[in-house]
Structure 1
Amino acid sequence: MESCDNNYCINDCCNDNCCNEDWCNDDWCCDTICCDERCALASIIQSVAMIEASLSSIICAEGLKIKKAVCLANNLNELIRINESVRETIEIISQLEEALKQKAVYAIEALKELKTD
């Protein structure tokens, strides 16, 4: 097993080869999981991407809910109630999106700073 070449390749930084006993030190590794800053920042970016995919699915489901409601609603009040529910969901998702954007921007900027060090 080879140790990391310290280029911190983001895609496989957290693989077991990163935690070779010859390379690992207690400040960077937790058991067999690489925990250096670059790996942590890459994990943050990956988690933001996964959450974004989940939010996309929720938005799609809300669109389908409106389509179904238009077909099945018996009166305007039912449509207004469904529309309000969807609007609230989209508003919450928008707030989550802003928080995710801030996390991603922070992580990307921190990675850029680490690359220049």
Structure 2
Amino acid sequence: MSQPNVPNITLQVSINRDDVINLLLASIAMEEISLAHIINAEGEKIQYAIETMPGPEATLDQLLDVNDSVQDMLAMVIKRELLLENKLKQAIDFITGSN
């Protein structure tokens, strides 16, 4: 087997303090938007389940299964929100120069 041939690439990335701050805040905002989309999708999942369950009405077990699924996803969203809150606090500390 031959060894991979990696070209000699020298990248010179130059960003200043303001660029770092903007990138940090933009990354937090983009993650928040992603979480909002997930929350919306979970709401749509509940609506879809209620409207399309077989028979005249959804059974209690079917609705509870959907509810459990949504609860699990929202628990993950909450955990991610806590991490984002910490990331934002650290970014604010960096911006204000405290700590």
For the aligned pair, the TM-score class normalised by the smaller chain equals 0.7 to 0.9
Matching of residue 99 in structure 1 with residue 79 in structure 2:
no
Matching of residue 35 in structure 1 with residue 35 in structure 2:
no
- What is the aligned-residue identity percentage? 29
| TM-score normalized with structure 1 length | 0.65
- RMSD value, Cα: 1.7
Deviation readout 1:8-32 (Å, 9 max, x if unpaired):
xxxxxxxxxxxxxxxxxxxxxx62x
Unpaired runs of at least 5, structure 1: 1-29
Deviation readout 1:37-74 (Å, 9 max, x if unpaired):
44223211110100100110110010011011112223
| TM-score normalized with structure 2 length | 0.76
Runs ≥4 residues deviating over 6 A: none
In 2, Cα distance between equivalents of 1:95 and 1:37? 29
Whose RCO is larger (CA < 8 A, sep 6+)?
Answer: 2
Deviation at 1:109, TM superposition (A): 1.7
In 2, Cα distance between equivalents of 1:102 and 1:34? 27
Unpaired runs of at least 5, structure 2: 1-10
